[in-house]
Amino acid sequence: MAAAAAAGDGGGGGPEEGVGESSSPPRDPAPAPSPSPAASGGSGGGGRGGGLRDICREVFERLVSDGHAAGSELLAQLEAHFNRLPISYKLDVNIDKAEDVLFHQKVLAEAKDPDRRPAFAVRFLRLEEVNVDETTNSDAHEEGADNDEALSTRSKTYTHIHEILFSTKDKPKLLSQLSALLSDIGLNIREAHVFSTTDGYSLDVFVVDGWPIEETDGLHKALEASILRNEGSWSGSESSASERSLPFLAQDCETDIDTRLLKIVKKVASGSCGDMFLGTYSGEEVAVKVLNPENLNQNAWSEFKQEIYMLREVDHPNIVRFIGSCTKPPQFYIITECMSRGSLFDFLHNEHNVLDLPILLKFALDVCRGMSYLHQKGIIHRDLKSANLLLDKDHVLRMPVGDWFWERGASMLRFS
């Protein structure tokens, strides 16, 4: 497998040549070395030149300066590692990120175990600012207004960039299979660094976006599930992949939000099927319910979809407002407004507020209006209590509609 670096803005598409995420900063080009039989014999043959020994020594010295124990054993391990890989790998190493070499060694070692192939690891790299154009109607449409006036605004949002490292037995079309695996869970490949070892293994490093949070546990589990769904492509059997199916149809995969405008801030609650997060959407504080991909069975999926259908049907001042949802793998979200004052229970018992008669009557009317509206829609709440009655910043009482986890989590949403 030839080495490559990709930088693109399409989804999971084919790599294009470019500068890699882990590449060293551009330097003045060095004089080209004289060709030698060892350096011209293919991707594995360049691993024994003097330049390789230099980069190996540089990595060793940086690791020692970073606190690793100096010794012949570490140096020997690094030399063996670099000797397995082509010269293009040496050129891709960033001395300022010498720890990456140990990271690569670890995953290559795991790939020796047939039961762990493809071995992989995930880590968060950075947040990257994205400018999103938003077109709005304004008074600029009034007669005589200049069309060049600000009808289009640019809002700043952030996308999470992760790195995914794979290692397995090298084989034809492996890069295509790995790209399809990442695309299967909705990731966009920005860069790919692809190398083959002299003993028949691959080392493939992908820089991706499309996973909406910094935390990597969920992404790791989503990759495990995708590998299982495509098990036949790794084992050579065609039956495994076809026997495994997702619990939803292609037409179920939809979104009515722009996921680029969604920013996850912090987790506030966990349940058996998902997690509740505090976040922002297009600058508005929101509550985000996320269904865990590893818990995606038929029952969980049916309940999740039913909740979305129900939320889309309700619109009332005393019901928590539904903002949108996403059911495109691996992103399974329900987004509602954030009730920043918490629950009525907290307001009374934890903040020790006392309701005077006008406020008490107002809250009672809020509850009655909300419940009356739900009953007109044929919806029975089944769990009406102070912990499930939420207050907005104007002390309007609203009820969340959904399962118990949604209600419990929503009562904990507060920006500090």
Residue type, 159: T
Alpha-carbon dihedral angle through residues 18, 62, 201, 174, given to the nearest 10 degrees = -30
Of 133, 383, 394, 403, the active-site residue reads 383
Q: Are 407 and 401 in contact (CB under 8 A)?
A: no
28-64: b or e for each residue (b if 16 or more CB lie within 10 Å)?
eeeeeeeeeeebeeebbbbbbeeebeebbeebbebbe
Would you call 383 a catalytic residue per the annotation?
yes
Rounded to whole angstroms, the Cα distance separating 170 from 288 reads 41
Contacts of 359 by beta carbon, 8 Å cutoff, 6+ apart: 395
**Helix, strand and coil percent figures for the chain, each rounded to 5:** 40, 25, 40
Alpha helices in 277-316 (DSSP H): 298-313
Rounded to whole angstroms, the Cα distance separating 110 from 35 reads 35
Contacts of 263 by beta carbon, 8 Å cutoff, 6+ apart: 157, 158, 279, 280, 281
Which residues are identified as catalytic? 383
